């Protein structure tokens, strides 16, 4: 029995498992031009997290265009017309261009539904936390998109 457990342990340990982002180097993302459109807060988070660098002197590099959008939708109301729940939607459209030709493009979208709070300050704080989490989820997908050539 012990030999079987040891054998299974070695087989599982040597199956080639490695973390998802092990080969992704986020520190070397250079583009000839970076164009940011839409929500400034979302764009700042993306640029600082991924560490995108602009190098206008290097003509062999591509151009990246990031267009971000955030919407907060009222999803339900009570009989008096007060909002009961919201839905936050964050969408980022990424395009990588070489000259005038779009090499690749993709739209990343995440949403989250949440209930209204009586205290508006708490609601604002909660919405900021939701926004950070949604942006982080999109950034993980965006890193893979940028690094896959």
In a domain, 3, yes or no: no
In a domain, 56, yes or no: yes
pLDDT (tens digit, 9 = 90+) per residue, 53-100? 888 887 777 888 999 999 999 999 999 999 999 999 999 999 988 888
In a domain, 140, yes or no: yes
Range(s) of the domain holding residue 29: 25-147
Residues 123, 88: contact at Cβ < 8 Å?
A: no
Distance between CA atoms of residues 115 and 5, nearest Å = 48
CATH number at residue 73: 3.30.160.150
Average pLDDT over residues 107-115: 95
Lowest mean per-residue pLDDT among 19-23, 39-43, 106-110:
19-23
Q: Is the pTM of this model over 0.85?
A: no
Total domains in the chain come to 1
In a domain, 5, yes or no: no
């Amino acid at each position: 029995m012990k030999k079987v457990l040891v054998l299974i342990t070695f087989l599982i340990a040597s199956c080639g498992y490695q973390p998802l982002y092990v080969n992704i180097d986020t520190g070397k993302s250079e583009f000839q031009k970076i164009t940011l459109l839409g929500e400034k807060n979302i764009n700042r988070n993306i640029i600082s997290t991924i560490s995108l660098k602009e190098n206008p002197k290097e003509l062999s590099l591509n151009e990246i265009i990031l267009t971000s959008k955030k919407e907060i939708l009222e999803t339900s109301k009570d009989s008096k017309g007060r909002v009961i729940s919201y839905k936050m939607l964050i969408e980022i459209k990424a395009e990588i261009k070489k000259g005038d030709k779009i090499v690749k493009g993709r739209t990343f979208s995440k949403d989250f539904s949440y209930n209204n709070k009586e205290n508006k300050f708490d609601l604002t704080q909660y919405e900021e936390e939701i926004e950070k989490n949604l942006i982080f989820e999109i950034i993980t997908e965006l890193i893979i998109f940028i690094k896959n050539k």
